[in-house]
Each structure stands twice: as C-alpha cells, then as structure tokens.
Chain A
C-alpha cells in the first residue's frame, strides 16, 4: 500500500502532533455543535474524547473526515494547514475511521467488504492475501471468505478495523467502538490499539462515554460538552470521578431543586462557572472529589420514594439479543404507583430497545414484565395495553401514530372495539370520544378528521398521550417524550406526566436529557450497555455520581 504516510511518520518526531485543530466551529441553525474547539492528537498516543449525547463528538469527527464542512477554524497536519473538503481528502491525509454503526454489507464476504470502494480489477486472491496479512500483523483473526452476516459483533468490528488499517492511516478514529462488544472483545480491541500506537507510532482518537475505557486505554483525554472543550489532561493525571463531573457538568442538585419548585430547566442557559477551554486538571465548581462506592449506587429497586408499596411495573431480568448483540442484559427495574422513575443514560445503551419491548414490538429472550403483580404474556398482541400499560413511544411516527389516519382514528386506535357496535365502527361514538379527549388534552387540530400528519409535533404527541391516558393505565412509559417539541409543549408534557403520577399512575420516564430526568423523576435509574448500573434518589444525584454510572463505572 501507500508508503508516503509511512515515510512521513518515520520522519516526524513523536512529539509533533499528528493532527492539530485550532478554533474549529460548526453551527446547525441555532445549535452550536462545535464551539471553537482546539485539539492536539499526537503520534504514538491514544487520545480519548469523552462527552455525553450532543456534546459534539461526532460533529468534530465528521469535520475531520470531510463529511461536514466547518464554519471556521484550522486543521493542521504537523504544522501545515490542510483542507478537508470531502472524505477523499481525509483518506489522502491518512485519516481513517471505524464508525459506531457498522458500515458492512451483510450479504458480502469479508474480503469483498474490505475492498469495497477500491477501483480497478477485482483480484480475489490478492484481496484475501491482504486481509490475512493485515489480520496477522495486528492479531485480528478472521476468515476472509466468511460471509459478514454470519459474523459476531466482535468479528464485524475486526473487519471494520482491517478495512481501515489496510489503508495504513496515520490517524485512526474509533467512535464508541465497544458499544456492541463483549468484555473480552473490548479487551482484545484495546490490545490491538496499543500495538497500533506503540509499535507503529500512529495516532488514535477513541470516542467514548465509558469512563473505564477512557481511563484504562487512553494517554490523553479531552472532555467535550455542548460543543466546547471543557477539560483536557493527560489521562494519568485525572480520575474517573473528575472526568464524570466534567462530562455531566451541570450542577444537578440545583436542577432538582428547581424542578421541585416547578421551575423548568431553561434550554440554552449556560451552566454557571464553566471553566475556559484547555484548563488542565482543575477541579470544576462545587463538586467535591469523593469516590462513589458500588454499594451506594446499586440501590435496591423500589427502595426510594415508593418503598412499602407493591410496584405497578416490575421488569425482571430482561435480556434482549438482536442480531447476536446483547442489547439489554438482565435488566431489572421497579416503578411504584405514583412515582416517576427516570431511566437515564447515553443514547444507544438499550433504552430504545426497552421502549420497543414495552411497545410490544420486541420480545425478550428471557425475563419478565409484571404489571400490578401479574406477569404479561408478551407474545400476545396488545397484551401490554390490556394489562394496563400506556406508552409514549420514542419515535411517535414509527409506532405512536398513523400519520395518514385522522386525529379521531388515532385517538381510538387501541380501543376500536369500544366505539363499535354490531360489527361496525360508530363514527358518532368515535367522534364523541375524540372530541372529549381533544378538549381535555388541548389538542389543536384543523378538524378531528384531519390526518395526524397535518398536526404540529406537540399536538401529535398530545394525541398519543391522550390515547394512552384515556385507557386508564396503571403504568405510563414515556420514552423521550419531549423530543423535538417546543418549549410550551414540553411544559405541557411535564405537567401531564406529573399529574398522571399524582393520580397514582406509575411513570417510567426514559430519557437521555438529564434536565428532563432531574425535573421530573424522584428516582433515577442509570442504564449503560443494556444494564442498570445504579438507582439513586434524585436528591442524591450529583454530576459525579451520575457521570460515573453513565460511564459504566460502579456497575
């Protein structure tokens, strides 16, 4: 393969950064995804990039790969500013990336996937030889002629790595590489990465929200929050609790108080006392550096607000395996009547699957769901609904509403039998129910016969909420209920959820927004890699403790 990069690397002393970013900014409309970011990535080092959802990690990497154009700022290879206008530029610069979601084609074999995108004649033997060579060099055993669909998640990851390493990148970027890997597979991956930086003097950027990974595998760490670099340090000089605080950042207890007073978190208000970028190892405001012991955090379910009352919703050892990946792993959680439990975590840690499971769209491979003490036969269509579970699904367009059916029809979707008589749907009864619900839930629609598609997001969400609450559920699951809603609609949704809880409904709020969880929940369960890493009362939730749990520490 190319030797230009190799020579360049040999000539470059290890101290010179492989890649330098200066003042890189990118806005999407009103949202600043990247805010004046400075970043140095050195040869021979693994550089950890830590941050929550929406911290701007992916945007930054997309800029480096030429997938997104920066608004301002400089990217330098060594000391020379370079242009990264498209992915070809990035390849020419020796920047390679292993994406979080595999970009392999299932129906093709390993070698076919590896050479995908090459030009010229297809030489099967040469391609296989190359795959074998790369796999031997890095200790990534793989059969080049195997079909990708038969491979495990770990093996697919290997193929992605081989695909990337074959191009001999000088900077290798890995986006949440362990999210689908087992413990052993992750360990193996980090061994390979060590080799890549130590023996070959490449630079690696490791994007992750898992603290254990960052502290164990990286040499330097940069924490991003809301597009800004908020912390930067050699990994050896910092601790997981400190990183957790920087990652979560906000003074969470203050938020909880605000929520208790009925104040809503204001979006865009910068957390007070944000230290300037590139500060090194300086303790952030307010939080003290105490270590969280596992005993404290893995609190008993229902030991919080709802203790003494039988839980209305009881999830027991739920395990879900999709395409060989364990998405939920023995997840257990109780929600008592009248309480709001927030399930918080970084996106992609199994929350969506839990939502799908509670929507009846996914079946667990083991474990049970109990509602008011009775196990639900999940394989029966509509069983959860009949057992008294209402749900606001995460993606209302995919399973919450039928966009091309009318408001009235959507409102009676789950209770069509109740508005029918003698085998026919009664339009009169359906409209009566719809009128009542529309009034009760302030649904603004051109007419009850208008398709739900014509409604605003907030009103669509009210349709879902009205339908679910009208069935008189004992449990209400709200998955990302305010995603994409405006401030007024968010406020309305929060009030409805609080009202439901005060009427004795057990509310499970699944959210990736910490503000939302802090504003509503009395107990917070944190999910990481498909398991509950801890449950703690909202009053005891500090940035540090949440950050640790979100990062999978103290599991």
Chain B
C-alpha cells in the first residue's frame, strides 16, 4: 500500500495479520480451501504408501484411536481441552496485533505454578484446585506480560521474545524438578530420584463427568469451552473487544481514538499467556498425563494450539472444532504407530492440513491484489496522490 502507517511496530507482521484474520470474502476462499484439503489428504496417502503403509489401514487406525469408542473419545477430548485453551489465548493476542508464539513455555510455567501450589501449599478441599488454576493463569500471564514489558522498555520484538522465553521456561522447569528444595520428588529409601515432582494430591486433580468405559468429560474441557465462548463474546460484542480489534487492525487509529494502546496490547498478551498457563494446569491436573510436573509435559501442546488458532483464523468459536480435529490427530496418532506407519507421519499430515487451511485465504487475497494492479482493492483511489508525490 502506498499509505502504510509509518509508526506501526512491524509492517510485515501487520500485513501478515491482515491476511490471516477473517474478512468478508466471496466463494473463492472456501472453494480453494476444499481443494487444498483434498490435495493435502491425497499427498498424505501418497506419503503413507511410499513409506510402506496402507492409507486405508492408517485412516482406520486414526479412527480407532480417536473416535471408535467412548474410551477413544475420552482420550481425544483430553487433548482437545489444553489445545483449545492455548488457541483461544492465541486468538486474543493476535486480534490485538501482537503475536504471542511462546505458548509452549507459558504452558510449562502454568504447570509449574500449579504444581507448586498443589504440592507445597497446605490447602484442603476444592479450594486447592481453584487456587492452582488461578496461580497457573497468573504466573503464565505475568510470564507473557514480560514480553510486553520488554517491548515497551527496550523495543524488543514480541514475536522473538515470547518465543525465546519458551526456552527459558523449559530451563526453569528443568531446574525446579531437579532441586529437592523446590519440586523434585521425595526420595523413598534408596530408589533413584527422577527429574519430576511428586504426584498431585487427589484434591488437586480435575474431575470428570462420566464413568469408564463410558464417555468422560474432564473439567478441563468445560473450562476450555467456557473460555472460548467468553472470549468470542468479549471480542465481538463488548466495547473492550471493539477496542482490541481496532488496535489489531490499525494501532494508530486506535491511539487516535483514545485507546490506551500499550495497556490494552499488554493485557491481550497477558491474557493469552494466562490461558496457555491454564492449559498447563489442565495438562498437569487432568488424566492426560501422570499428574506430576515433568520437563517434557507440554508435549508441543503450545505449538499445536498456536496452529489451531491459525487454522481457525483467530476466531475462538471456530477454534473449537479445529482443536477437536487436532485432538483426533493426537490421540489417533499414537494408535497409528501400531499399524507400522511411522508416527511422525501424523505430524506431516497435521502440517499439510494446516497449510491447506492457512494458505488458501492468503493466496486468494494475493491473487485479488495482483488483479487490482498491484494494490489492494481499497487503494485504487490513491493513484492520484501517488502521482502528485512523484512530482513533488
């Protein structure tokens, strides 16, 4: 665009955001997406065949591991909950124009805070769980807020700092589970001690509705769905969401209209961190894992949740089915290994699907731009001042 905002923090990032956020568009985008998904699936089966597997057997395995019976569904939903929490947070920050990509670390920080509260504070009854969740949200929110602070004080790029803070978070958690005075498990007799915490007390675990072998809905999923609905309402229906959207779409105009840009941008980043932290607490307290703090417990949930938001194009409600799909791929992926297909192929399939969803809108937008003569549709009338500038 000829009239790009000079004061915008990162032009490229914002343009990218512009392409990735929902915008009323015609039939081209859905059509292109359908084509791309079919192509991704075709490519996936080709890959499976090439590596010596059978596509139909693979689909069968994926299905059996994720949806064939209630147990499979339960496992799928256990993965869906933290994915959705992370994705909703990513939606909020992306809507405000700051890209938080450090959820993987924020998940760990959330889990660390929850584990510390659960294991080190003498709280009884249901209050413990509530305080664990709060601590996780606060700690991870503050962790993400640090990036906002770094940006304001020293101009550090938020994308870079949130990502790099992930590696710091991993070291912090590794330290915590290696230090007996912090969170390392207690020594029992002469048995070797592992780098992990003690298991949480029963009062620190998230309960489920439903009984094995029926469908079990864990409290984490309820939390995640509530967060998604709340975020959707807040973003699309409240003055706060209006300002957030304005900030994301045009920070200068937002500032001009009286939005406290720094405060709101920092808050959005902290919220996304807090939701990632909640995801960490859910990973810790729900039966998806072993209910101990372990350095590897984030299991790429942070990165995958980010992909969920990307595919959902930063819409919290759209993130719900997408998170479910990713949950299916996760729980089915484990099963797939049994059929002889290398389990990393699931990651390849996931990547192809993400591309199939993310690429078409961008391609359509770029094609439109090219057709309108190198300028976005709205910039046509600028031809005249552009010519004037050339003379001046």
Same complex for A and B? Answer yes
Residues on A lying within 8 angstroms of B by beta carbon are 28-29, 31, 33, 53-56, 58-59, 68, 227, 347, 359-361, 381-383, 385-386, 391, 393, 395, 397-405, 409, 413-414, 416-417, 420, 423-425, 450-458, 483-484
Are the CB atoms of A409 and B242 closer together than 8 Å?
Answer: yes
- Interface presence of B125 (CB below 8 A): no
Q: B239 at interface (Cβ–Cβ under 8 A)?
A: yes
Known: A31-B387, A397-B1, A458-B381. 6 other contacts (CB 8 A): A381-B259, A395-B3, A397-B5, A402-B253, A404-B23, A423-B238
Bound-state CA distance A424–B237 (Å) is: 6
B4 with A398: CB separation less than 8 A = yes
Of B245, B259, B377, B385, the residue contacting A454 (CB under 8 A) is: B377
Q: Is B249 an interface residue (CB 8 A)?
A: yes
Decide: A361 near B250, CB < 8 A? Known: A414-B257, A417-B239, A484-B384: no
**Given A404-B23, A453-B377, A484-B381, are A361 and B388 also a contact pair (CB < 8 Å)?**
no
**Interface status of B219 (Cβ within 8 A of chain A):** no
B391: which A residues are within 8 A, CB to CB? 28, 31, 33, 54-56, 58-59, 227
Say yes or no for B255: interface residue by CB 8 A criterion: yes
Hey, which chain B residues are within 8 Å of A423, CB to CB?
A: 238-239
With both beta carbons as reference points, the residue of chain B lying nearest to A418 in the complex is identified as B239
**Which chain A residues lie closer than 8 Å to B239 at the CB level?**
416-417, 420, 423, 425
- Per the bound structure, the CA–CA distance linking A420 and B236 in Å amounts to 13
| B242 and A425 within 8 A (CB) | yes
> Measured between alpha carbons, how far is A404 from B383 in the docked complex, in Å?
20
Which residues from A are CB-within-8-Å of B253?
398-402, 413
Chain A, Cβ-Cβ closest to B18: A404
Contact between B252 and A361, CB atoms less than 8 A apart: yes
Instruction: Considering the complex, give the chain A residue whose CB is closest to the CB of B387.
Output: A28
A398 touches B3 (CB 8 A): yes
Instruction: List, in ascending order, chain A residues with CB within 8 A of B373's CB.
Output: none
Question: Which residues of chain B are within 8 angstroms of A393 by Cβ–Cβ distance?
Answer: 256
The answer to whether B390 has its CB under 8 Å from any CB of chain A is yes
Residues facing A in B353-380 (CB within 8 A) are 376-378
A416 to B1, CA, bound (A): 28
Q: B residues within 8 A CB of A404?
A: 18, 21, 23, 249-250
Interface string of B1-34 (1 = CB under 8 A from A): 1011111000000000010010110000000000
Q: Which of A56, A397, A456 has the most CB of B within 10 A?
A: A397
Contacts of A395 in B (CB 8 A): 3, 5
CB distance from B124 to the nearest CB of A (A): 36
Q: In this complex, what residue of B is CB-closest to A32? A: B391
Return chain A residues, CB-CB under 8 Å to B392.
53-54, 58, 347
Per the bound structure, the CA–CA distance linking A453 and B249 in Å amounts to: 12
Task: Output the nearest chain A residue to B8 by Cβ-Cβ distance.
Answer: A398
* CB<8 Å pairs between A and B, sample of 21: A53-B392, A54-B392, A68-B390, A347-B392, A359-B256, A381-B259, A382-B259, A398-B5, A398-B253, A404-B18, A404-B21, A409-B242, A414-B258, A424-B238, A425-B242, A451-B23, A453-B376, A453-B377, A453-B378, A457-B382, A484-B384
Q: Which residues of B contact A361 (CB under 8 A)?
A: 7, 252, 255-256
**Distance from A465 Cβ to chain B, minimum over Cβ atoms (Å):** 15
B246 lies within 8 A of chain A by Cβ: yes
Find chain A residues with CB under 8 A from B385 CB.
Answer: 483-484
A404 to B246, CA, bound (A): 9
Given A404-B18, A414-B257, A425-B238, A54–B388 Cβ distance below 8 Å? yes
Among all A-B residue pairs, the 3 with the closest Cβ atoms: A382-B258, A453-B378, A457-B381
Cα of A525 to Cα of B377 in the assembled complex, Å: 38
B260 interface residue per 8 A CB criterion:
yes
Report B291 CB to chain A, min CB distance, Å. 38
A130 to B: closest C-beta gap in Å: 33
| Contact indicator B246/A402 (Cβ below 8 Å) | yes
For residue B7, which residues in chain A have a CB less than 8 angstroms away from its CB? 361, 398
CB proximity of A553 to chain B, nearest CB, Å = 22
The residues of A that contact B292 with a CB separation of less than 8 Å are: none
Q: Contacting B252 at CB < 8 Å: which of A382, A391, A399, A424?
A: A399
CB distance from B235 to the nearest CB of A (A): 11
- Hey, which chain B residues are within 8 Å of A28, CB to CB? 387, 390-391
Provide the bound-state CA to CA distance between A462 and B237, in Å: 26
Q: Which residues of A contact B387 (CB under 8 A)?
A: 28-29, 31
- With both beta carbons as reference points, the residue of chain A lying nearest to B2 in the complex is identified as A397
B315 on the A face (CB < 8 A): no
Does B313 count as interface, using CB distance less than 8 angstroms? no
B350 interface residue per 8 A CB criterion: no
**Within 8 Å of chain A (Cβ to Cβ): is B243?**
yes
- Name A426's closest neighbour in chain B (CB-CB): B237
A156 to chain B, nearest CB (A): 19
Q: Could you mark each residue 203-234 of chain B with 1 if its beta carbon is under 8 Å from any beta carbon of chain A, else 0?
A: 00000000000000000000000000000000
Nearest A residue to B7 via CB reads A361
In the complex, how many angstroms separate the beta carbon of B289 from the nearest chain A beta carbon? Answer: 38
- Of all chain A residues, the one with the shortest Cβ separation from B388 is A54
Could you tell me the distance between the alpha carbons of A452 and B23 in the complex, rounded to whole angstroms?
A: 12
Name the B residues within 8 Å of A414 (CB-CB). Answer: 257-258
> Which residues of chain A come closer than 8 Å to B1, judged between CB atoms?
397
Asked whether A399 lies within 8 Å of B250 as measured between CB atoms, the reply is yes
Query: In the complex, are the beta carbons of B237 and A416 less than 8 A apart?
Result: no
Closest to A29 in B: B387
- In the complex the two chains form, what is the Cα distance from A451 to B382 in whole Å? 17
B6 to chain A, nearest CB (A): 7
Whole-angstrom CA separation of A504 from B21 in the bound complex: 43
A450 to B392, CA, bound (A): 34
Closest-by-CB residue of B relative to A52 is B392
Which residues of the partner chain A approach B18 to less than 8 Å between Cβ atoms? 404
What distance in Å separates the Cβ of B155 from its nearest Cβ neighbour in chain A? 13
In the complex, how many angstroms separate the beta carbon of A397 from the nearest chain B beta carbon? 4
Which chain A residues lie closer than 8 Å to B257 at the CB level?
Answer: 382, 385, 413-414
CB neighbours (8 Å) of B243 from chain A are 416
User: Which residue of chain B is the closest to A227 with respect to CB atoms?
Assistant: B391
A413 to B250 Cα, complex, angstroms: 12
Q: How far is the CA of A113 from the CA of B59 in the complex (A)?
A: 59
Bound CA span A404–B314, Å:
15
Bound together, the chains give a CA A383 to CA B260 distance in angstroms of: 11
Cα A360 to Cα B255 with chains together (Å): 7
A398 touches B238 (CB 8 A): no
Q: Which residue of B lies closest to A401 (CB)?
A: B253
Q: Are B246 and A413 in contact (CB under 8 A)?
A: yes
Cβ–Cβ < 8 Å partners of A483 in chain B: 385
Q: Is the CB of A405 within 8 A of B246?
A: yes
Closest B residue to A489 by CB, please name it: B381
How far, in angstroms, from A416 to B244 measured CA to CA in the complex? Answer: 12
| B252 and A403 contact, CB distance less than 8 A | no
